[in-house]
Amino acid sequence: MGATGYGNGFREFDCGKLMAVKDWLDTGKCLLGFHQGDWRPESPARCLLIQTCERCGTINQRVEHSWSDWNHAGAQSCELLRSCSRCAESEERIEHNWEAWTYRQDESCDQSKRCQRCAEWNDENRIEHQWGIWEYSERYRAPLHSCGRCGLSASYFADQNIDQDEVSSTNGDGARKEIEELISDDRVIEELLARAEQAVVSSEPDVTPVSGPDDDTSDWRQQMGVLRQMYQGFIASGQIASERQAFLTAILAELEEILGSPAPGLADKQIRATRVQQLLSQMSEALLHPSRAQPVEEPVAGSSRAALSELHANLHRYVMTETSAGLLTGEEGKALMALMGRLRGSREALANLPASADSVKVETEVLRPLALEIRNFSLRHHLTLAQPVWPSRAVGQHGNALFYSGGSQVGALVAQVCASRELRCLVPQADREPASLRWDQLRESAVAVFDFTGYKRAASLEEASSIAAVAYELGIALALGRAAVVVAIDGQDLPFDLDIEPVCLKNDDSDVAMLSAAFDRALYGLQRGAAGSSVKSSIKYLRDRFAGHPSPHVRMSLETLDDEATADPIKTRYLITSTCGFLGAEALQILLPAWPGQYPDASNRRCFHVTAFGPTWANSTRRLVGDACGSQIEYIRGDGVLAPDILRSIWDEICRATHVVVDLTGLNANVVLELGIAHTLGRNVLLISQDQQVERYFRAIAKHRIHPYTLRGPDAPALQATLQRFLI
What's the CA gap between 409 and 257, in Å, rounded? Answer: 64
pLDDT tens-digit profile of 612-630? 988 999 999 999 999 999 9
pLDDT tens-digit profile of 356-411? 778 899 999 999 999 999 999 999 999 999 999 998 888 899 999 999 999 999 99
Place 438 in a pLDDT band, splitting at 50, 70 and 90: very high
* pLDDT above 90: residue 681: yes
pLDDT tens-digit profile of 101-156? 888 887 788 899 989 888 888 888 888 888 876 665 656 666 778 887 888 888 86
Look at 159 and 513; give whichever has higher pLDDT: 513
- For residue 378, give every residue at least 6 positions away whose Cβ sits within 8 Å of its Cβ, in sequence order, or none: 318, 526, 527
Using left for φ > 0, alpha for ψ between -120 and 50, and beta otherwise, residue 532 falls in: left
Give the mean pLDDT of 513-542: 90
pLDDT recorded at residue 224: 65
* pLDDT above 80: residue 643: no
Which residues pair with residue 91 across a beta bridge? 82
* pLDDT above 90: residue 660: yes
**Reported CATH class of domain 606-726:** alpha beta
pTM across the whole model: 0.69
pLDDT tens-digit profile of 474-500? 999 999 999 999 999 988 888 877 778
- For residue 82, give every residue at least 6 positions away whose Cβ sits within 8 Å of its Cβ, in sequence order, or none: 67, 68, 69, 70, 71, 90, 91, 92
pLDDT tens-digit profile of 208-233? 333 333 444 555 566 666 667 767 76
Look at 240 and 1; give whichever has higher pLDDT: 240
Ordered by start, the domain boundaries in the chain are 16-63, 98-127, 298-353+363-374, 535-591, 606-726
pLDDT recorded at residue 178: 29
CA angle 27, 31, 32 (to 5 degrees): 120
Helix (H, G, I), strand (E, B) or coil at 705: coil
Q: Give the helix, strand, coil percentages of the chain, each rounded to 5.
A: 45, 15, 40
Amino acid at 276: V
Place 183 in a pLDDT band, splitting at 50, 70 and 90: very low
Q: CA nearest 459: which of 576, 339, 572, 612?
A: 612
DSSP state of 602: T
| Surface-to-core class of residue 99, CB atoms within 10 Å of its CB (0-12 exposed, 13-18 middle, 19+ buried) | middle
pLDDT recorded at residue 17: 67
Largest CA distance in the chain: 138
Q: What mean pLDDT, rounded, does the chain reach? A: 82
pLDDT recorded at residue 181: 29
pLDDT recorded at residue 292: 63
Q: CA nearest 585: which of 718, 393, 452, 400?
A: 393
What's the CA gap between 172 and 375, in Å, rounded? Answer: 37
Q: What percent of the chain has pLDDT over 90?
A: 38
